[in-house]
């Protein structure tokens, strides 16, 4: 091939096509012997666009005996061994019938796919419905080849997920039940065909208990969280640097960057997925797309439909920041529940927007895998706030220009326009949601005490035990209803006054910054604490602290105190020539009521009506002159790269 680069595959999941057309293939065939030996029925859960279909296609070629496709790969030696022999294969891609708008259509499409397989293998199965035809096909192929059959089912849950992800679909509940009924009947035949099957390999996004797979197949092995299969799909750092070496050099030249700098940024954008909590993986679709385009874009999110996620963020008043470092237990990681009933973080985990991080034995947390996913989620947040894509785009452009130019008053004006667009209902919902998330995350026996403290100002309240039971039973609708009842005082006029802290406003601001394309990191550690936000754009670094007060009349004092906190705790010490910014948000105006910033060794105020403004400004400047706290640190201290 000389100096010619191999072709990149971004539009095909066919192993045969990739190998025959000499496209780049990262060898994963070393996992095949382990799959064969780990059980009769094997299940692998991974998000979309992560290589599940390519894995199934590879197994199809392997068991079909297409040895020429495996020359030079890890599985070649296994296929050349005396004990290897081709087997008959049924390969079902269940994304084909997904999107059917009736039970009849779903049955018809599945039946058509089964008949195609039967024709290819020259057998004639019989059956009055797709499930009976499926069982007959397995039996007929077993008899025809005098061998037990290999059954490969890709995206087993696609028909159900397609229904769930169709926003505002009329009669969605009935269609969902009809779809589940067809698929449950279909998959239940796998158990009936046990004597005719050698290996069953099933992939999907999640484990649906009501699909006839996990409820009927008691011999199923779930390899989704097993460390030995953690990298069966996706690219490790070693695989990236070895397999993509020529592309790394070409891209570094095109972008005029050192290779190590380029690799750091590629990792920041596309690395970080984990399915055992430890092994870090690059998203294969995004990585391939990046080396094809040689540009840092949000490929993964742009390749799918985000309507349901956008609606969920809007309707539930969710922000991006609240899902970072969210603790979950191992049971949740294994089976987060039916996708339409699981809480928001369960949906995001199953869909691949959140990934696992291992904290301790049997202890996990959820977090965004990388900057690509985090910034894409934030873009959905912006889309919900602004009435049109044009206005959202203009707001993002203004913010980027103001941040790159160091125009702090203009930036704060952008922030104020953002906060003015947050609906009143979102403020009210956030008060309940912030409490509920804290409750739902607590895995210990003190959940009742937490509920009482959260809602009763330190005293245990009537009804909290029932709420605790609902939380433990994952009946979140009941728990939320009980919480609403407690907040409103059960109609007795004794409702609890809930107060929003800076987390709500910080989360909205973080989403706005990330969605606009700025690098923003929440709760950045320094030697004496954590700053609320560190923002980087256009060569400028901003260290931001936020305070919330009840009345706008006390906002200037709070802004000054926030700046003193930045200075005293050394939040800006790790940065080079930072701009310090303290924001005070007033609950009575639901917006920024005062702002003080330090730039070029001087404290300045954004517009505020507080009569103490000039006095406080003078106090701050005297303090800065005496302490020198706003002086930039030595350049030799450097900066550490921050991930999402």
Three-class DSSP labels, 28-69: CHHHHHHHHHCCCEEEEECCCCCCHHHHHHHHHHHHCCCHHH
Lowest-pLDDT range of 177-181, 184-188, 377-381, 445-449: 445-449
E strand or H helix at 497, and its extent?
Answer: none
Check whether residue 198 and residue 337 sit in a common domain.
no
Q: If you average pLDDT over every residue of the chain, what do you get?
A: 81
**pLDDT surpasses 60 at 433:** no
Does residue 492 surpass a pLDDT of 90?
Answer: no
- The residue among 460 and 104 whose pLDDT is bigger is 104
CA atoms within 13 A on the CB side of 75: 24
pLDDT band at 381 (very low <50, low <70, confident <90, very high): confident
* 634 pLDDT tier (thresholds 50, 70, 90): very low
Q: What are the structure tokens assigned to 448, written together?
A: 């009742």
> What one-character-per-residue DSSP string does 561-603 give?
HHHHHHHHHTTTTTSSSPEEEEEEEETTTTEEEEEEEEETTEE
Percent composition of the chain: helix, strand, coil (DSSP 3-state, to 5): 50, 15, 35
The answer to whether the CB of 44 falls within 8 A of the CB of 229 is yes
pLDDT of residue 74: 97
Question: Other C-beta atoms within 10 Å of 458: how many?
Answer: 8
Q: What integer is the mean pLDDT of 209-232?
A: 82
Higher pLDDT, 643 or 612: 612
pTM for the predicted model, two decimal places: 0.79
Closest CA to 549 of 583, 585, 581: 585
* Residue 272 and residue 224 share a domain: no
Q: What value does the mean pLDDT take over residues 179-186?
A: 90
**Phi-psi bin for 146: left (phi > 0), alpha (psi -120 to 50), beta?**
left
Domain that holds residue 432: 424-491
Same domain, 264 and 374: yes
Which of 361, 385, 409 is where one domain is finished? 385
Sequence-distant (≥ 6) Cβ neighbours of residue 319 within 8 angstroms? 313, 381, 430, 504, 507, 508, 510, 511
Does one domain contain both 89 and 34? yes
Percentage of the chain beyond pLDDT 70 is 77
Asked if 467 and 561 sit in the same domain, the reply is no
Residues 541, 487: one domain? no
Last residue of a domain, one of 491, 516, 537: 491
Question: Which burial class, exposed, middle or buried, applies to 638 when counting CB atoms under 10 A from its CB (0-12, 13-18, 19+)?
Answer: exposed
242 belongs to a structural domain: no
Q: What integer pLDDT is reported at residue 90 of this predicted model?
A: 98
Q: What is the pLDDT of residue 526?
A: 59
Most confident of 108-122, 539-553, 615-629: 108-122
Is residue 415, in this structure, part of any structural domain at all?
no
pLDDT at 424 over 60: no
106-110, 168-172, 368-372, 531-535: range with lowest mean pLDDT: 168-172
95: phi then psi, degrees, rounded to nearest 5: -75, -15
Res. 239 pLDDT band, cuts 50 70 90: very high
Q: Quick one: 353 and 258 in the same domain?
A: yes
pLDDT above 60 for 574: yes
Classify residue 8: in a domain, yes or no: no
Strand-pair category, 41-45 with 197-204: parallel
**509/134: higher pLDDT:** 134
Residue 508 lies in a domain: yes
Q: Token pair for residue 347? A: 């949906």
pLDDT tens-digit readout, 5-43: 777 877 789 999 999 998 999 999 999 999 998 889 999
451-467: average pLDDT = 45
Is the same domain home to 371 and 321? Answer: yes
Q: Are strands 149-154 and 89-93 parallel, antiparallel or unpaired?
A: parallel
> What does the pLDDT look like over 295-307, one tens digit per residue?
998 888 777 667 7
Identify whether residues 275 and 360 lie together within a single domain: yes
Tell whether the torsion through CA atoms of 553, 556, 557 and 559 is positive or negative: positive
User: Which of 356, 385, 414 finishes a domain?
Assistant: 385
Estimate the crossing angle of helix 245-255 against helix 284-293, to 10 degrees: 50
pLDDT at 332: 78
Contacts of 516 (CB under 8 A, 6+ apart): 382, 395, 396, 399, 400
Q: Is the pLDDT of residue 489 over 60?
A: no
Specify the DSSP element, H or E, that contains 619. helix 613-627
The answer to whether 435 touches 483, Cβ cutoff 8 Å, is yes
How many residues would you count in the chain? Answer: 644
Domain annotation covers residue 316: yes
pLDDT for residue 480: 62
DSSP symbols for 207-228: --TTSSSTTT-TTEEE-TT-GG
Task: For the chain, count helices (H), then strands (E).
Answer: 27, 14
Residue 21's CB is within 10 A of a number of other CB atoms, namely 12
pLDDT (mean) for 211-230 = 83
Q: How confident is the model at residue 575 (pLDDT cuts 50, 70, 90)?
A: confident
**What's the rounded Cα separation, in Å, for the pair 331 and 542?**
40
Higher pLDDT among residues 265 and 618, named by residue? 265
pLDDT tier for residue 246 given thresholds of 50, 70 and 90: very high
222 and 344 share one domain:
no
DSSP 273: B
Domain count, the chain: 4
According to the model, what pLDDT value does residue 641 have?
37
Residue 198 maps to which CATH number? 3.40.50
**Predicted pLDDT at 511:** 84
Q: What is the pLDDT of residue 193?
A: 94
How confident is the model over 447-473, as a mean pLDDT?
48
Residue 146 domain-assigned (yes or no)? yes
Is 619 a residue whose pLDDT tops 70? yes
Which position has the token pair 């979102």?
426
The alpha-carbon radius of gyration of the chain (Å, integer) is 28
Q: Are residues 643 and 601 in the same domain?
A: yes
| Confidence tier at 310 by pLDDT (50, 70, 90) | confident
Across 456-614, the runs of DSSP E, i.e. the strands, are 519-526, 529-537, 540-549, 579-586, 591-599, 602-605
Cβ–Cβ < 8 Å for 163, 101: no
- 598 falls within a domain: yes
Q: Are residues 69 and 170 in the same domain?
A: yes
* Domain-embedded: residue 398: no
Whether 516 shows a pLDDT value over 70: the answer reads yes
Residue 638 confidence (pLDDT): 38
């Amino acid at each position: 091939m000389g100096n010619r680069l191999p072709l990149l595959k971004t539009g095909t999941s066919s192993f045969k096509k990739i190998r025959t057309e000499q496209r780049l293939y990262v060898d994963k065939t070393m996992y095949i012997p382990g799959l064969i030996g780990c059980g009769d029925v094997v299940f692998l859960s991974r998000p979309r666009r992560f290589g599940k279909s390519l894995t199934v296609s590879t197994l199809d070629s392997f068991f079909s005996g297409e040895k020429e496709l495996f020359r030079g790969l890890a599985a070649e030696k296994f296929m050349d061994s005396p004990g290897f022999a081709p087997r008959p294969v049924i390969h079902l891609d269940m994304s084909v019938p997904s999107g059917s708008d009736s039970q009849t259509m779903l049955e018809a499409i599945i039946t058509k796919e089964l008949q195609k397989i039967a024709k290819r293998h020259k057998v004639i199965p019989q059956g009055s419905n797709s499930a009976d035809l499926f069982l007959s096909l397995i039996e007929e192929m077993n008899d025809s080849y005098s061998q037990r059959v290999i059954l490969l089912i890709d995206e087993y849950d696609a028909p159900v997920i397609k229904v769930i992800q169709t926003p505002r679909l009329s009669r969605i509940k009935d269609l969902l039940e009809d779809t589940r009924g067809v698929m449950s009947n279909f998959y239940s035949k796998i158990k009936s065909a046990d004597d005719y099957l050698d290996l069953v390999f099933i992939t999907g996004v999640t484990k649906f208990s009501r699909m006839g797979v996990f409820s009927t197949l008691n011999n199923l092995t779930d390899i989704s969280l097993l460390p030995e299969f953690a990298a069966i799909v996706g690219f490790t750092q070693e695989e990236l640097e070895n397999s993509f070496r020529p592309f790394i050099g070409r891209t570094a030249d095109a972008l005029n960057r050192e290779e190590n700098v380029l690799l750091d940024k590629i990792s920041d954008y596309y690395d970080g997925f984990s399915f055992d909590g430890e092994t870090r993986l690059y998203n294969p679709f995004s990585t391939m797309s990046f080396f094809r385009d040689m540009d840092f874009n949000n490929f993964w999110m742009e390749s799918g439909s985000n309507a349901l996620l956008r609606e969920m963020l809007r309707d539930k008043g969710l922000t991006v920041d609240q899902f970072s470092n969210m603790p979950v237990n191992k049971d949740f990681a294994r089976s987060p529940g039916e996708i339409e009933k699981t809480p928001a973080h369960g949906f995001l985990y199953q869909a691949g927007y959140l990934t696992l991080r291992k904290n301790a034995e049997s202890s996990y947390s959820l977090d965004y895998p990388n900057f690509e996913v985090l910034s894409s989620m934030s873009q959905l947040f912006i889309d919900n706030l602004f009435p049109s894509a044009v206005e959202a785009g203009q707001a993002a452009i203004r913010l980027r220009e103001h941040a790159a130019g160091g125009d702090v008053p203009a930036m704060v004006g952008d922030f104020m326009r953002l906060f003015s667009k947050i609906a009143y209902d979102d403020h009210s919902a956030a008060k309940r949601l912030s409490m509920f998330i804290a409750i739902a995350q607590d895995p210990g026996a003190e959940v009742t005490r937490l509920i009482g403290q959260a809602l009763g100002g330190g005293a245990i309240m009537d009804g909290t035990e029932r709420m605790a039971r609902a939380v433990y039973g994952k009946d979140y609708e009941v728990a939320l209803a009980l919480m609403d009842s407690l907040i409103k005082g059960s109609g007795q006029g004794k409702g609890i006054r809930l107060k929003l802290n800076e987390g709500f406003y910080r989360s909205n601001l973080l989403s706005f910054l990330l969605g606009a394309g700025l690098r923003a990191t929440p709760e950045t550690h320094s030697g004496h604490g954590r700053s609320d936000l560190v923002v980087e754009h256009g060569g400028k670094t901003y260290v931001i602290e936020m305070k919330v007060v009840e009345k706008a009349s006390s906002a200037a004092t709070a802004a000054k105190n926030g700046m003193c906190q930045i200075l005293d705790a050394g939040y800006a010490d790790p940065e080079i020539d930072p701009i310090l910014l303290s924001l005070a948000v007033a609950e009575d105006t639901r917006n920024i009521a005062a702002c003080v910033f330090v730039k070029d060794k001087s404290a300045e105020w954004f517009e505020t009506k507080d009569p103490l403004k000039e006095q406080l400004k003078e106090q701050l400047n005297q303090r800065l002159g005496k302490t020198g706290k706003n002086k930039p640190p030595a350049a030799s201290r450097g900066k550490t790269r921050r991930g999402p």
